[in-house]
Structure 1
Amino acid sequence: IATAPIGTPPFFDELASYRFDKLRYLPQVVDFTAYAGQRLLEVGCGAGIDLVCFARGGAIVTGIDLAEVSIDLAKQNFAHRELTGDFVVMNGEQLRFADNSFDAVYAHGVLQYTANAQQMVNELYRVLRPGGTAIFMVYNKYSWLNALSKLMKVELEHEDAPVLKKYSIGEFKRLLAPFTRARIVPERFLIRTKLHHGLKARLYNDLFVGAFTRLPTALVRPLGWHLMAFAQK
């Protein structure tokens, strides 16, 4: 994905460029400027790509991740950009924060990789203040990408770690039952792949992407690969 030396500013620029080219919907559905002055926690922060956006929008950010290398990269990313954030190696299923510690919590593409997703949701609910916002993303078991990867026998380009569970919209809503309300928005529709090459990639880019984009929005909307959730405590 990135060709620049690890930990350098160009390295983080390449990561961000790749992520937001692949997830073009994300800045459209998540207002990174809406949390200015608020305490925001990201679980599974990785190299801090999304947290940079929240921090630039004025949020007081904390990022946690199970991998120490990710936390180190996130610290370097913020240092290069002269941003402030707290980063800690921590398990999202066992948060070491007091109740009601944060105004917003964010877990994009994390719940599907955890052994106990309900425990993580419950922990994020606990540390979120009343009235606070939670933003989640999980993979849709009934998405176009799931079906297409099986049909073409191509691994999903996102799956660099074992996905323990994909969710239907109903299952996702039940997972978020502790919250007073939750809005589910399917996203992540077909875009041309840059990661794969060869005949299958050409068929995907030239045939499937073109055909999919011509279908009525109402028909394809429930088939988004990503299920975004916006919930409130």
Structure 2
Amino acid sequence: MGFEEVQIDQVKDYWDRRPCNIRHSTQPLGTRQYFDEVEARKYFVEPHIPIFAEFPHWSGKKVLEVGCGIGTDTVSFARHGALVTSVDLSVRSVEIARQRVGVYGLEKQVRFYFANAEELSCYVPVEPYDLIYSFGVIHHTPHPEVVLEQLRQYTRPGTTIKVMVYHRRSWKVAWILLSEGRGKFWKLQELVAKNSEAQMGCPVTYTYTRREGRELLERHGFRVRDSQVNHIFAY
């Protein structure tokens, strides 16, 4: 079965069972100590995120975050003064992210929606944003192209879109292919989906070359100004 045939409820159930980064702290879930530790660990293993996101740059600006998870980047945007609309398919993730925003007293700067990004305009009022941000998300939905078409509705001249997707020519993909697939490159899509996340068995995980990522965006009317490849430290 191809990824495009996967039902969105399968994706939702997967991320509800174990929201991304939920085990990055041994402190009690929901405490300030827990959220502080999750943030410190996330940005330690992915130091490129603050550089990519440019959190201080969006002070006073409207940010649409597609796929907020448990809210690490949400809080970073809000803490730097952005007005954030955060969306996620996972009910459990949004509940934790909302709790997290409350812990830091940032409720007035963030609004949350449970939403399937492929039908974003059915959930989130259509209005222009200064930044549309989606880090490590659209490659986990059955139809990334549909998401990009939805995102266009939230743009205006001057809107910036920052999207991270998985790079096919990466050390992790090579490791998965060799260790799990024993070189069976024709099973790469299946192998990457199964092994790409901390919890095995992700229903959908697309990967892209730099050229494919650029072409994906350009096909949907976005002008690509920059693309970069970064790596996550082992953890």
TM-score, structure 1 length as denominator? 0.76
Distance in 2 between residues matched to 1:10 and 1:31, nearest whole Å: 25
2:132–2:160 CA contact under 8 A, matched in 1: yes
**CA offsets per residue over residues 34-85 of structure 1, 9 Å max, x none?**
1111111111101110011111111100111111111111111111111131
**Greater share of helix residues, 1 or 2?**
2
The 5-angstrom pairing of residues 50-199 of structure 1 reads: 50-84=73-107, 85-95=110-120, 96-153=123-180, 155-158=195-198, 161-177=202-218, 178-189=220-231, 191=233, 193-194=234-235
- Alpha-carbon shift at residue 133 of structure 1 (Å): 0.6
**Greater share of strand residues, 1 or 2?**
1
Distance in 2 between residues matched to 1:47 and 1:70, nearest whole Å: 5
Distance in 2 between residues matched to 1:35 and 1:68, nearest whole Å: 27
Q: Secondary structure at the match of 1:165?
A: coil
- Alpha-carbon shift at residue 86 of structure 1 (Å): 0.4
2:113–2:124 CA contact under 8 A, matched in 1: no
Q: Secondary structure at the match of 2:159?
A: strand
Q: How many residues align?
A: 193
CA shift in 2, pair 1:21/1:126, >3 Å: same
Structure 1 runs (4+) deviating above 6 angstroms are none
Distance in 2 between residues matched to 1:36 and 1:64, nearest whole Å: 19
TM-score, structure 2 length as denominator? 0.75
- Alpha-carbon shift at residue 157 of structure 1 (Å): 5.0
Percentage of matched positions with identical amino acids: 32
- Alpha-carbon shift at residue 184 of structure 1 (Å): 4.2
The 5-angstrom pairing of residues 39-50 of structure 1 reads: 39-50=62-73
CA shift in 2, pair 1:159/1:24, >3 Å: farther
Distance in 2 between residues matched to 1:157 and 1:73, nearest whole Å: 19
CA shift in 2, pair 1:112/1:159, >3 Å: farther
Structure 1 segments unaligned to the other structure (5+ residues): 195-233
1:98–1:127 CA contact under 8 A, matched in 2: no
- Alpha-carbon shift at residue 129 of structure 1 (Å): 2.3
Distance in 1 between residues matched to 2:58 and 2:35, nearest whole Å: 23
